Amino acid sequence: MGIYLNPGNKGFWESIRSEIYVDKTNLISCTNNLLNTEDKFACVSRPRRFGKSMALKMLAAYYSRGCDSADLFKGLKIEQNDTFRTHLNKYNVILLNMQQFLIEAGSGNLTEYLEQEVLGELLEEYEDILTGRDMGIAAALRRIYAKTDSQFIFLIDEWDCVMRERKEAESLQKQYLDFLRNLLKDQPYVALTYMTGILPVKKYGQHSALNMFWEYSMTEQFAFEEYTGFTEDEVRELCRQYDMDFSTVSSWYDGYRLRRFKHIYNPRSVVAAMRNHILSNYWTSTETYEALKLYMDMDFDGLKSSIVQMLGGERVKVNTLSFQNDMHTFRTKDDVLTLLIHLGYLGYRPETKEAFIPNKEVMGEFENAMSVSGWPEITRILKASEQLLSDTLNGNEEKVARGLDQAHMEAASILTYNDENSLGCAIGLAYYSARKDYRLIRELPSGRGFADVVFLPLPSVKKPALVIELKYDKTANAAIQQIKDRQYTQALKGYTGEILLVGINYAKERKDKPHSCKIEKIRTAPSLGTGRI
């Protein structure tokens, strides 16, 4: 057992002995399907805290020669798979943590240091084949394969650390990518390469040095969707075990949307919440808000407006294809937003190509970043949103209208009211604080149409639901009447308790007092439907 060559199963042994272990071993069935095929190069990129290194420890334990891992996988999902015994501990594995090599190489040559370290282990294991020969890793592995017919599986962690930590060192990046290409591409000794990082493969001009890789990223995870984070079923089970309220946990850590799995959770934050029995922002323990602030403050046309729209609960269209997969080359706001998707600060819906802020935990990071940045007008709106919600719950229509007037004035430099959609974004921003206790639903289908904005209280919150209808150059009474006529309260089927109907109108010609508000209260009951109280 070596450090890099066939590292054994100690890492996975520690994982399954941990207090909380979620069985993701069926990932192995996916990698088994890739072995010795045209698809054997997988670059799986995810944000920090999403279990990338843990997956590599599991794969190393499963594939590595020189150890017997059968007992470690006993009772786990992969044991039932037809391919489990076929590949168990049958391959030479080379496990490389590029972050480690980058740090230890210091100002020296990264690839030379890596070759020196790995070749040292290869010489120990294959002394009779390699003795007396001065060669690089690729040549050494070709010779080992020719003499032994043994293939290698490459597991590469933090593959993109050079792009992230040497952002402007293009010559180093190109040298590093060329090294990986020579090591992996068209080499007969490669049975599988599974590399992980935050960024997809770096692009240069019209081609990539690593164009043999299939990319599985936060914009498209394909077959690896289920293993991207915790699924809804997995989090429900953890909440049951640890006596935590699932709906509240969801509001904190859910929000990443993939094609088949619509609810993917941040694994590290969920584990921390279960262990501590406290819902909190665990993001800051591994990342600082300065990382987000740097990109929020970039001067690209429309970037600030898009971020404000997402703070207001909206989704924004993003073209992810122009992004160069580094942290230095930005040409448009879409490049910045795409990076934030890969970093986990934004969720992404591949079907509609829309980005959004995924959950309460990440919203806290945006708040922190804005509080020390050039966003004073938005910060004031967020602070005032607590009072606006209080005035709404108290039925104070006049104060609500004045609060919305003030929010509009603050946001006027960023958001322009020109229709009910833009008004809806501003209203979502003005009621920002409501999302601490409520689930925000935009355009909830019900009755004969879509309610503009619905705030549904979390199960542990004893506050009324809000159904908000917006009008542009009409009347607040007309908004209330539409809620009734189109039976929008049917959207809350199954909810019992008070509902506030909130009609809001924006009158463009009334410069001094453009907003008006009407609030009515109704109550629901399981068998009685809705009725006025």
Contact yes or no for 270/235 (Cβ under 8 A): yes
Ranges 68-82, 265-279, 373-387: which has the least confidence: 373-387
Same domain for 189 and 50? yes
Of residues 438, 305, 298, 290, the one with CA closest to residue 368: 290
The rounded distance, in Å, linking the Cα atoms of 525 and 533 is 12
222 part of a folded domain: no
Share of the chain above pLDDT 70, in %: 93
Task: Give the model's pLDDT for residue 288.
Answer: 59
Contact yes or no for 470/425 (Cβ under 8 A): no
Same domain for 127 and 211? yes
Query: Using the 8-state DSSP alphabet, how is residue 201 labeled?
Result: P
Task: Give the model's pLDDT for residue 286.
Answer: 55
Same domain for 302 and 279? no
Choose one of 351, 371, 391: the last residue of a domain. 371
| pLDDT (tens digit per residue) in 238-253 | 999 999 999 899 999 9
Summarize the confidence of residues 168-185 as an average pLDDT: 92
Predicted TM-score (pTM) of this structure: 0.92
Same domain for 265 and 163? no
Same domain for 392 and 366? no
Within 10 angstroms of residue 201's Cβ, the number of other Cβ atoms is: 24
77 part of a folded domain: yes
Task: Give the model's pLDDT for residue 290.
Answer: 74
The rounded distance, in Å, linking the Cα atoms of 248 and 438 is 9
* Interior angle at CA 226, CA 223 and CA 227, nearest 5: 95
Domains: count for the chain: 4
Query: Using the 8-state DSSP alphabet, how is residue 299 labeled?
Result: -
Q: For the purposes of burial, counting CB atoms within 10 Å of the CB of 206, is it exposed (0-12), middle (13-18) or buried (19 or more)?
A: exposed
Same domain for 507 and 394? yes
Same domain for 521 and 432? yes
Summarize the confidence of residues 49-67 as an average pLDDT: 95
Same domain for 324 and 261? no
To which residue do tokens 């020669």 refer? 65
Supply the mean pLDDT for the chain: 90
Judge whether residue 173 has pLDDT over 50. yes
Name the residue range of residue 271's domain: 230-285
Q: What is the CATH number of the domain that holds 486?
A: 3.40.1350
465 part of a folded domain: yes
The rounded distance, in Å, linking the Cα atoms of 344 and 23 is 22
Choose one of 354, 371, 388: the last residue of a domain. 371
Residue 244 structure tokens: 């935590």
DSSP H helices, 38-165, are 52-63, 84-87, 98-105, 110-125, 127-130, 137-148, 161-165
pLDDT tier for residue 460 given thresholds of 50, 70 and 90:
confident
Task: Give the model's pLDDT for residue 528.
Answer: 36
Task: Give the model's pLDDT for residue 206.
Answer: 47
410 part of a folded domain: yes
1 part of a folded domain: no
Q: What is the CATH number of the domain that holds 158?
A: 3.40.50
Same domain for 433 and 479? yes
225 part of a folded domain: no
50 part of a folded domain: yes
237 CB-near residues (< 8 Å, 6+ apart): none
**Cα-trace Rg, the chain:** 27
| pLDDT (tens digit per residue) in 181-226 | 999 999 999 999 999 999 998 776 545 679 999 999 999 999 999 9
What is the number of alpha carbons within 13 Å of residue 209 lying toward its C-beta? 15
Summarize the confidence of residues 352-374 as an average pLDDT: 91
To which residue do tokens 């109704």 refer? 522
Same domain for 38 and 156? yes
- Encode 439-477: b = buried (16+ Cβ within 10 Å), e = exposed: bbbbebebeebebbbbbbbbeeeebbbbbbbbbbebebe
| pLDDT (tens digit per residue) in 393-406 | 999 999 999 999 99
Within 10 angstroms of residue 234's Cβ, the number of other Cβ atoms is: 18
Same domain for 383 and 366? no
Judge whether residue 41 has pLDDT over 80. yes
5 part of a folded domain: no
Same domain for 307 and 273? no
Who has greater pLDDT, 62 or 425? 62
